[in-house]
Amino acid sequence: MADSTLAIGAGAASTPRRQVGSLKKLARRRATTALLLCAPLIVLIVSLKVYPTFYAVFLSLLDRKMNSFVGFDNYIFLLSRPSFQLVIFQSCLFALTAVLMKALFGFVLAHLMHNIRGKNQRIWRGLLLVPWVIPLALSTLTWWWLFDPSYSAFNWTLNWLGFESIPFLGTTWNARIAVIAVNVWFGAPFFMIMYLAALKSVPEQLYEAAAIDGASAWQKLIFITLPMMRNIILITVLYSLIVTFADFDIVRILTNGGPQDSTHLFATYAFTVGIQSGNIPRGASVSLFMLPVLATLAFFVLRDVMKRNKEIST
């Protein structure tokens, strides 16, 4: 391509070879600047997210004093303990139930909101999003107060209606339900917002065409709404599964894993074992049990996002 025998007019200073060289330099300079701009991000992520993950694996293979290698002993020990087996069960139960309910509520709410047009919708939306806005730790405290064994306002209302008081956090299943309820209260608005956005993006004409074709409201839902919203539904459910599965705040504040370890999740159990009892390697092992599930979920999220990523990067 480089035609070195270029006939140059008067006053020309550059030779072709120098042209190509400095062009390359220009291109390289831009790529270096670009990388430099990304550097803080990469350094941050690698040092405080990637490295700790691998470090956690390393830690989980050590003994309590962190002097010697014990291989998979921590994992085997954990799996043999009933309290940990409960943790596995509870985490899965919690994640699946809570996400299902959040998705359902969010879906219903989105449809209800969609019926309201114009400015009013903003007001309702504003009110319904409040659970999401309040810091979770603080709103969980309020729930704890609402569930308090002696002073619960809920129980006062039940008594006033003629019912017995309920020990919300006192029994195993009550506590589990309470934890799930708080999580659903907190997360449903998120689902509502996402689904509402998705609903808005379904062209009105599709529904009109279906109406002419004779579809009932139920059929419209099944054959038009759900398929068009499929992507958003999938992404929000997967994302929420990941976040709910790894939740810490609610259980820690509401029940601290009790009563009798019946509400412990991986996160809270890891905290109790690792930080409170001071057994770092075992705590790391607890956390790492989440990795396979998280990785699988992340894989599915990634696959869906990659499709859209192609359009975005350059």
Please give the residues from 30 up to 69 whose contact with other proteins meets the rule CB under 8 A. Answer: 30-31, 33-35, 37-38, 40-42, 44-45, 48-53, 55-56, 59
State how far the Cα of 179 lies from the Cα of 247, in Å rounded to an integer: 11
The one among 92, 130, 222, 226 contacting other proteins by CB under 8 A: 130
The one among 110, 169, 284, 293 contacting other proteins by CB under 8 A: 284
The per-residue DSSP string of 69-102 comes to B-TTHHHHHHHH-HHHHHHHHHHHHHHHHHHHHH
Residue 1 interacts with other proteins (CB under 8 A): yes or no = yes
Q: Kindly determine how many residues on this chain lie close enough to bind other proteins according to the rule CB under 8 A.
A: 121
The one among 93, 104, 137, 221 contacting other proteins by CB under 8 A: 137
The one among 75, 94, 107, 266 contacting other proteins by CB under 8 A: 266
State how far the Cα of 235 lies from the Cα of 109, in Å rounded to an integer: 18
In the shown chain, the binding pattern of residues 196 to 215 toward other proteins, with x for contact by CB under 8 A and - for none, equals -xx--x--------------
Identify whether the C-beta of residue 20 lies closer than 8 Å to the C-beta of residue 2.
Answer: yes
Task: For tokens 């299943």, name the residue.
Answer: 173
**Between vectors from CA 202 to CA 201 and to CA 207, what angle results, nearest 5°?**
155
Residue 267 interacts with other proteins (CB under 8 A): yes or no = yes
**Ranges within 79-118 binding other proteins (CB under 8 A):** 105, 108-109, 112-113, 115-116
**Ranges within 161-200 binding other proteins (CB under 8 A):** 185, 188-190, 193-194, 197-198
State how far the Cα of 40 lies from the Cα of 180, in Å rounded to an integer: 38
Half-sphere exposure of residue 141, counting CA atoms within 13 Å on the CB side? 4
CB-nearer residue toward other proteins: 174 or 244: 244
What letter does residue 216 receive in the DSSP assignment?
-
